Amino acid sequence: MAWYSKQKKVPQTAATPAAPPAEPTKKGEGLWNKCDGCGEVVYRADLEANWNVCPRCGHHEMMPVRRRFEMLFDPGSFQELDVELTPQDPLGFVDAKKYKDRLKSTFKATGLRDAFISGLCTIGGREVSVGSFAFEFMGGSMGSVVGEKVARVIDRAYERKIPCIVFSSTGGARMQEGIYSLMQMAKTSAALNRFRKVRKPYISVMLHPTTGGVAASFAWLGDVVIAEPKALIGFAGPRVIEQTIREKLPPGFQRSEFLLEHGMIDAIVPRLELKDRLAQLLGLLG
């Protein structure tokens, strides 16, 4: 006997209308939000007023890049630069759809040209060269444009002799740009090496998640490396590591708390305290 048998289709008539397809509820939409930390349902306006930190349990939801700037920089001080950089398709890459089409549709959905925004701002009155990943753009993946923008953030800090801060939230290199993506690791690391000469701080802030080629290059090369609570940070994913070393990984592996305990990062700073902490660090080191 067969394991599966074909079910007979019930013909639809006017008397038995088909049930409406369940509306897919996207995260980040609707009036209410179910917290991934405590499972409580929170009014979205309350969550957003609290910078996407759950008012019940303190769980950090992801936050769009522009909101982060609004939260951390002195009001009106951010000047966006490098806006002319737009991604190309050097390999003519096609997966489920053409890379070119994917770029177009992501631009339409997010209003962003690529997964990184860079510029100058002040924090606590001090000028800083800054840049941040936008996870909402193709999972914050790093292609040629992102790498170039990161390098420019660092180079501007070098030229002006000011501190620089990069906020990372990324899945790693952008596979659609192949080797061009991987080359960004060397390019940004080389820019940081030059920046060392001006003896100003480079603060790397790792948000959830920071993985792959970004974690393996400039994100972990900060003079000070800060992470948000419970952020996933690492190079390869836990499944790949387990299969490679054939050992069970300890609980909490690759989370901020585990990494702090093992000396891989310098501090865990809750989002609501980040602006003060950055201003303090800039005051001490800048």
Choice from 27, 28, 32, 38 touching Zn ion (CB under 5 A):
38
Q: 40 phi and psi, to 5 degrees?
A: -75, 150
Cβ neighbours for 136, distance < 8 A, ≥ 6 positions apart: 64, 65, 110, 112
Report the run of H or E that residue 49 belongs to, with start and end: helix 44-49
Smallest distance, Zn ion to C-beta of residue 36, A? 8
The contact mask relative to Zn ion for 183-222 (x = CB under 5 A, - = no) is: ----------------------------------------
- d(C-alpha 136, C-alpha 64), whole Å: 7
β-pairing verdict for 233-234 and 202-211: parallel
In the block, residue with structure tokens 């990372």: 168
Minimum distance of Zn ion from residue 208's CB (angstroms): 14
Residues 40-79 binding Zn ion (CB under 5 A) are 54, 56-57, 59
Based on the shown chain and the rule CB under 5 A, indicate whether residue 124 belongs to the binding site for Zn ion: no
Residue number, 59 or 200, with CB nearest to Zn ion: 59
Residue 90 CB partners (closer than 8 Å, separation 6+) = 144, 177, 180
Round to whole Å and give the CA distance between 16 and 22: 17
CB of 39 to Zn ion, least distance (A): 7
Question: Would you say 277 and 269 are in contact if contact means Cβ atoms under 8 Å apart?
Answer: yes
In terms of CB distance, is 60 or 174 closer to Zn ion?
A: 60
3 state SS of 68: helix
Residue 35 touching Zn ion (CB under 5 A): yes
CB of 42 to Zn ion, least distance (A): 7
Measured from the CB atom, the residue of 56 and 98 that comes closer to Zn ion is 56
DSSP H or E stretch at residue 214 = helix 212-215
Comparing CB distances to Zn ion, the nearer of 62 and 285 is 62
- Taken in order 275, 280, 284, 286, the sign of the CA dihedral is positive
Q: How many residues bind Zn ion (CB under 5 A)?
A: 7
CB of 231 to Zn ion, least distance (A): 16
Q: Which is nearer to Zn ion, 56 or 160 (CB)?
A: 56
Give whole-number Cα distances, 37 to 46, 209, 237, in Å: 16, 15, 21
Piece in contact with Zn ion (CB under 5 A), picked from 36-44, 216-224, 259-267, 269-277 = 36-44
Q: Which is nearer to Zn ion, 35 or 81 (CB)?
A: 35
Helix (H, G, I), strand (E, B) or coil at 116: strand
Q: Kindly indicate which of the ranges 30-38, 148-156, 211-219, 252-260 contains the residues binding Zn ion, using the contact rule CB under 5 A.
A: 30-38
Minimum CB distance to Zn ion smaller for 37 or for 237: 37
Q: How far is the CB of 230 from Zn ion (least distance, A)?
A: 12
Q: Do the beta carbons of residue 147 and residue 219 sit within 8 Å?
A: no
Report in angstroms how near the CB of residue 61 gets to Zn ion at its nearest: 9
> Which residues contact Zn ion by CB under 5 A?
35, 37-38, 54, 56-57, 59
